[in-house]
């Protein structure tokens, strides 16, 4: 039987947390690369919270996924046929490609990664977009100083676990907020966080924070928004800095989330609250990747990957992000290298 190309398309725009009806599996022929294109066999697919925003209708900072079309995201693959001078068969490449087993890509849509320098999956995690997000958001906006208290929400995820460790490298006291006891143990025992709070079991996040941050909060790296962030902001010190990285607690809301009015607290503390997108730092990616790579080699930085195997697991891995199923970077392994 001729080998087909399995794909995942956006079947419905989800209301609330996406479910399996959001997605549809489809089979097509394996595409033929044209001149200046390569055929890529998918090895790893990254599932990321921001993709939930693309499932909505209406323009945001990224365009919505069209209904009925293949969902796209971060993919690592192997070139299995090349009609582009820059790439050879066997090259390992990364790009924004489809949730499908085979993709064609123009040479300017992908770049090669060195499979011998680090495990290739790390280019979708600690050495890739999430790692760089933590690096630039924390260091450019948060600017943690030795002895300051840094709070990180979504602390056991891909971005949060990196942000917290970088804050430790900079000599800060780091407090993480996450949703399971296993994650709390991971933050304290594996990553060296000074304190960690389980927001799902604490009666009052504010009281837990007061206890964990007796000298107040100087930097808050926010991945989640909502009530967790309301509580952290209430503990801000004068001139606190808050890189607003993500607001996953509201991504599945159908109505806008209302909260306390924070302006008086911001005036009192003269806090800096700044949203950012990783793309803002694209001209500095090399510098960030160099530091992250060096810290990894020096053992100052560590990482966890939650890798599920099998193309069909992509939707459930994505949905799992909103249920807190992952520690570290959530990935789906679709195929091994060098096997057709």
> Which residues sit at the interface with ligand NAP, rule CB under 6 A?
48-50, 130, 133, 154, 156-160, 178-180, 183, 223-224, 245-246, 248-249, 276-278, 321-322, 324, 326, 330
Name the residue nearer to ligand NAP (CB basis): 86 or 325: 325
Tell me the closest approach of the beta carbon of residue 326 to ligand NAP, in angstroms: 5
Alpha carbon distance 209, 48 (integer Å)? 28
Nearer to ligand NAP, 159 or 172 (CB): 159
Distance, in Å, from the CA atom of 137 to the CA atom of 288, rounded to the nearest integer, reads: 11
Residue placing its CB nearer to ligand NAP in the complex, 277 or 296: 277
Looking at beta carbons only, is 23 or 186 nearer to ligand NAP? 186
Helices (H), 200-262: 205-212, 226-233
Smallest distance, Å, CB 252 to ligand NAP? 8
Which DSSP symbol is given to 30? Answer: P
Closest C-alpha among 293, 317, 309 to residue 119? 293
CB of 131 to ligand NAP, least distance (A): 10
Cα–Cα distance for residue pair 128/124, rounded to 1 Å: 5
The smaller minimum CB distance to ligand NAP, of residues 103 and 249, is found at 249
SS3 268: helix
Q: Which of 224, 213, 225, 235 is nearest to 160 (CA)?
A: 224
> Considering the complex, what minimum distance in angstroms separates the CB of residue 146 from ligand NAP?
26
Minimum distance between the CB of residue 49 and ligand NAP, rounded to whole angstroms?
Answer: 4
Report the C-alpha gap between 99 and 77 in whole angstroms. Answer: 12
């Amino acid at each position: 039987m001729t080998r087909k190309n399995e794909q995942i398309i956006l079947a419905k725009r989800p209301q609330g947390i996406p479910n399996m009806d959001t997605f549809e599996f489809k089979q097509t022929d394996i595409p033929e690369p044209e001149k200046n294109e390569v055929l890529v066999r998918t090895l790893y697919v990254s599932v990321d919270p921001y993709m939930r925003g693309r499932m909505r209708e209406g323009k945001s900072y990224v365009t919505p996924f069209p209904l009925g079309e293949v969902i796209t995201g971060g993919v690592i693959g192997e070139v299995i046929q090349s009609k582009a001078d820059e790439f050879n068969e066997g090259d390992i490449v990364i790009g924004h490609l489809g949730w499908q087993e085979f993709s064609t890509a123009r040479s300017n849509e992908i770049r090669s990664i060195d499979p011998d320098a680090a495990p290739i999956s790390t280019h979708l995690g600690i050495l890739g977009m999430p790692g760089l997000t933590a690096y630039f958001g924390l260091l450019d906006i948060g600017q943690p100083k030795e002895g300051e208290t840094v709070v990180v929400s979504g602390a056991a995820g891909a971005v949060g676990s990196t942000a917290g460790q970088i804050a430790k490298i900079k000599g800060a006291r780091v407090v993480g907020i996450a949703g399971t006891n296993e994650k709390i143990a991971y933050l304290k025992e594996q990553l060296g966080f000074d304190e960690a709070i389980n927001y799902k079991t604490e009666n009052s996040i504010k009281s837990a924070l007061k206890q964990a941050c007796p000298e107040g909060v100087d930097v808050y790296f926010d991945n989640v928004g909502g009530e967790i962030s309301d509580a952290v902001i209430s503990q801000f010190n004068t001139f606190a800095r808050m890189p607003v990285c993500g607001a996953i607690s509201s991504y599945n809301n159908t109505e806008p989330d209302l909260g306390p009015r924070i302006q008086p607290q911001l005036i009192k503390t003269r806090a800096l609250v700044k949203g950012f997108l990783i793309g803002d730092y694209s001209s500095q990616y090399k510098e960030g990747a160099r530091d992250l790579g060096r810290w990894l080699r020096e053992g100052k930085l560590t990482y966890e990957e939650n890798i599920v195997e099998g193309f069909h697991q992509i939707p459930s891995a994505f949905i799992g992000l909103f249920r807190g199923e992952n520690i570290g970077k959530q990935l789906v392994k679709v195929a091994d290298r060098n096997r057709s």
